[in-house]
Amino acid sequence: MKARVAVLISGRGSNLAALVEAAKRRSYPAEIALVLSNRPAAAGLSHAQAASVPTGVIDHVPYHGDRERFEHAIEEVLERYRIDIVCLAGFMRVLTASFIKRWEGRMLNVHPSLLPAFKGLDTHGRALAAGVKVHGATIHFVAAGVDDGPIVAQGALAVHDQDTPETLANRVLEIEHRIYPMALGLLAAGRLELREGRCVIGRQTTDDRGQATGTVIISPLISDV
């Protein structure tokens, strides 16, 4: 039986779209059973509706900062839809420790940097300001602490001198769209294991190992020196 997944969003929903697309595959081990937004106007909601995925809105505004009550409302809907896994995809609310505890090992997040570097907002601007030559995206289990938790997957790219926060964001987003469906698929298939606070992937294919030993990103890659 496929794992039932709720995707929590606040805005555009391009990662949600990537997950919905991946879940169309018959062999994919998860189905997107619900999309929940804390913003009624989130563009991602229309994408979900167009894909015939059930949607719900739990607006945080009427809760006036009462996180417990807000999350209680979320929990109710997650329960009603018999959700097994929660995917945060651009969900812009900080969750309480008890919510995180309840979904420990069953909740993923996507973050647009190579964690643990650049937690928080404006990751691309800060990466450029820091002058890093390699940047990327991370899928991680959610643990207490913002953008914290065992790393499931990362994708990296070379930063160019002419990059702006926008050009970087666009290229990193493409990585997010590749690694999030893969990470969710691994979790849903029971292929991820948490060992001493780290995430390990039980069974690696020959491809994984080939790439792990063969792929190196060097940035900048200059040959005439």
Residues found near ligand GRF in the complex (CB under 6 A): 9, 11-16, 44, 89-90, 110-112, 173, 176
Q: Provide the token pair at 192.
A: 């991820």
Q: Provide the token pair at 88.
A: 């945060």
Q: Provide the token pair at 61.
A: 């505004």
Q: Which of 156, 154, 147, 28 is nearest to 85 (CA)?
A: 28
Provide CB contacts within 8 A for 159, sequence distance 6+: 127, 128, 132, 133, 134, 135, 168, 219
Number of helices and strands in the chain (H, E): 7, 9
CB of 215 to ligand GRF, least distance (A): 22
Q: Which of 47, 60, 64, 111 is catalytic?
A: 111
89 vs 153, beta carbon nearer ligand GRF? 89
CB of 52 to ligand GRF, least distance (A): 19
165-188 and 123-130 helices, crossing angle to 10° = 120
Is 111 among the catalytic positions? yes
CB of 127 to ligand GRF, least distance (A): 13
Ramachandran bin of 190, using left for φ above 0, alpha for ψ from -120 to 50, beta for the remaining angles = left
95 vs 200, beta carbon nearer ligand GRF? 95
CB of 192 to ligand GRF, least distance (A): 20
111 vs 171, beta carbon nearer ligand GRF? 111
30 vs 224, beta carbon nearer ligand GRF? 30
Q: Which residues are catalytic?
A: 111
